[in-house]
Amino acid sequence: MNAVATHHNRFGIAPSTMVHAAGIRKSYGNLEVLKGVDLTVPVGSVACIIGPSGSGKSTFLRCINHLEEINGGLLLVDGDFVGYRLEGNKLHELPPSAICKRRAEIGMVFQQFNLFPHMTVLENLIEAPIRVRKEPIAKATARATALLQRVGLADKRDAFPKQLSGGQQQRVAIARALAMNPKVLLFDEPTSALDPELVGEVLEVMKDLAKEGITMIVVTHEIGFAREVADQLIFMDGGVVVESGHPREMIASPKSPRTKEFLARVL
């Protein structure tokens, strides 16, 4: 705990902050996708990011766990860098093994589920705890079984992903992310690839997680979900945060005309 506390002091960030992003910039070649994104996500809160496609919201999410390298700004998860080590005023790039250790604390759920198709549901869940955390198989299996129970798929533990519906696959993907006991869960449009009738079951699971106090950052098009579950709503457009605030207030009376226009289109 001491080490964590000193880190927080070093950057002057409250220990109650899970993700701290300030002035995040990211370019692909000449195309600047993120033009200075600021966001603070407190521990135990849910942040929903909405915005038109191409606004940079998914890219920003992928920067948080260092799937994408940022070109500028300060990005800290649980008070420390994900892909770098600070020495003096130089950021040293970490080797893959060290980045992986940090990434294991940041769960991610993808639009396309990305379950491992050659493994059963149970094997999907216990793979990382056994290979990365070196947990005993019995312990990992017990927790995986409990997690499957929680997402309502205890009877599918020996099925292969292909045999499940999209909604079931996404629930398995959420359970797989939870199996690593992450400090924060990132959702990248988790219901966008689902048939409309399957969206509800995934959102139900996510609502339960929010109630349990898991820190979540959700890129989504589900405004209803954001209104009901989010502690803060962030509207991104053109690589910047246009507006953020309490979801109910923001949806009822958006301040920026761009937010108003976007909400009018999706609601």
The nearest distance, CB 56 to other proteins, in angstroms, is 18
**Complex with other proteins: residue 11 or 111, whichever CB lies closer:** 111
**Complex with other proteins: residue 129 or 254, whichever CB lies closer:** 129
Instruction: Spell 251-262 as b/e; 16+ CB within 10 A means b.
Output: beebeeebbeeb
Helices and strands (H, E) in the chain, number of each type: 10, 11
Per DSSP, 184 falls in state E
The nearest distance, CB 103 to other proteins, in angstroms, is 5
Backbone angles phi, psi at 45, to 5 degrees: -105, 165
**Complex with other proteins: residue 84 or 235, whichever CB lies closer:** 84
Report whether 217 contacts 34 (CB < 8 A). Answer: no
**Complex with other proteins: residue 47 or 178, whichever CB lies closer:** 178
Residue 200 to residues 40, 168, 191, Cα–Cα distance (Å): 28, 11, 9
- The per-residue DSSP string of 78-128 comes to TTB-SSEEEETTEEEEPPHHHHHHHHTTEEEE-TT----TTS-HHHHHHHH
Residues that bind other proteins (CB under 8 A): 65, 67, 96-97, 100-101, 103-108, 110, 112, 114-118, 127-128, 131-133, 160-162, 176-177, 180
**Complex with other proteins: residue 76 or 82, whichever CB lies closer:** 82
The nearest distance, CB 132 to other proteins, in angstroms, is 4
**Complex with other proteins: residue 71 or 111, whichever CB lies closer:** 111
The nearest distance, CB 114 to other proteins, in angstroms, is 4
**Complex with other proteins: residue 108 or 214, whichever CB lies closer:** 108
Q: How far apart are CA 73 and CA 82, in angstroms?
A: 13
The nearest distance, CB 202 to other proteins, in angstroms, is 17
The nearest distance, CB 104 to other proteins, in angstroms, is 3
- The per-residue DSSP string of 20-73 comes to EEEEEEEEETTEEEEEEEEEEEETT-EEEEE--TTSSHHHHHHHHTTSS--SEE
The single-letter code of the amino acid at 78 is D
